Each structure stands twice: as structure tokens, then as C-alpha cells.
Amino acid sequence: MGGRWQGSQLQRMALRLGLIHPAAILQRAAALARIEALWKQHPEFTAKQVIEGLSLGHLLGIGRARELLRECRRAAAKRCAANRKVGWWLDNRTALRIRITAICKRHPEYTAKRVIKVLRSELALRARWVNRVMNECWRALGKHGPRQCNGWTPARRRRQSELILEFRPWERATGPRTPEGKARGAKNGYRGAREA
């Protein structure tokens, strides 16, 4: 009588004895509800961080956590028009991109540095990345051309070039252009000018 108890045989005997064993996995609806609640608080979490945050490693595997987290991100991305048009990846920065898009719509005059101040995120954000997201957002919405990082507008660039011309006289040198450059031709006298 040294046989093994296994599979459905064990389950039937446990039910006869009145032993209700807890489920080995978390039901999909319950897992999705818990992950959504955690994702709303911490949208930057990865699947490993979600499992640690919920302390459900034994009931929720890494594969299922990734899948359910992707569903939360996909649902948020579908609500954002710019995200649909640009086609951003669904990753741990999806919610951040959506927030940047909302700020760009409300305040089109903001620069990347100003957006970072508004976000007040725990993540260390680079102005270059935020500016790239803002440019993609503007192109998708079809409102403006690409924005310049740190507030460099076309008018400001024009003023800057005028200031440079004031302080660099060699940039204003008169005379015909040569392969060596405009200033060199004016200083040394261009051969073509003597022949003519």
C-alpha cells in the first residue's frame, strides 16, 4: 500500500475531508485590479517592482505581471490622442509621456526645463529627453514645428547672430567670397578682383 497520492485523487480526498486548499494562482480579475491600483500610484514601476510591491511573487509570476501591466499601460495610451498618433512604446515611461503631452496642450509656451519643474518627478529626467517627447507630441498634434531646447526660438537665434556680428568684425568682412573664406579674401586681396 505504498502508492502515492497525486493530482485529482488528492483533490477529491481533500474535499471529502473538508480541507479547502488556497488557489495556487491569483485570479485574473483580482490580479488586474491590484496591479491597476499600484500602477496609478507608481506608473514608473517595472514588473519586478510590481511583484515586490504587492508581495505576490508566489501567486503572480513575472510573465503574468508584465502582461497585466502592459494592459494598464495600453488602456492609458488609448486615451491619449498624441500617443496613438506617435506610436510610443509601452514601457515604464508611458504615463510620463502622457503627462508631458497634457502639459504641452495646456501650456504650449513651456520649455523642457519648465516642464520638468512642473512634473516634480522622483525620476531624474533629462531636458533632452523631455524636449524630444515634446517635439514628437507637437508633430503628432500638428500644431507647431519642432520646439527648441532651453527656449531657443527663431527670434532669439536671430538676435544672437546680430550680437555675434557686432563683436566679430571678421564675420562682416567685405569682398568677394573665396574658397578660403570671406575674411581671408578681403584681407589679402582676391586675384580675381585685380584681373577684372
Q: What is the mean pLDDT of the chain?
A: 77
Distance CA 157, CA 155 (A): 5
Nearest CA to 129 among 157, 160, 79, 91? Answer: 91
- Do residues 19 and 5 lie in contact, with contact meaning Cβ atoms separated by under 8 Å? no
| Span 1-41, pLDDT tens digits | 456 766 677 778 888 888 876 666 778 888 889 899 998 89
- What pLDDT does 13 receive? 81
Q: Is residue 185 over pLDDT 50?
A: no
Enter the pTM of the model: 0.57
Compute CA distances 43 → 105, 131, 138, whole Å.
21, 20, 23
What does the pLDDT look like over 34-93, one tens digit per residue? 899 998 898 888 888 888 888 877 678 888 888 999 999 999 889 888 888 888 888 888
Exposed, middle or buried: residue 132 (CB in 10 Å: 0-12, 13-18, 19+)? Answer: middle
Enumerate the domain spans of the chain.
Answer: 12-79, 81-151, 154-189
**Cβ proximity of 134 and 147 under 8 Å:** yes
For 152-179, the pLDDT digits (tens) are 667 777 787 787 777 765 555 565 556 6
196 — pLDDT class (breaks 50, 70, 90): very low
State mean pLDDT over 94-113: 87
DSSP 112-126: HHHHHHHH--SS---
Report the first-to-last Cα separation within the chain, whole angstroms: 119
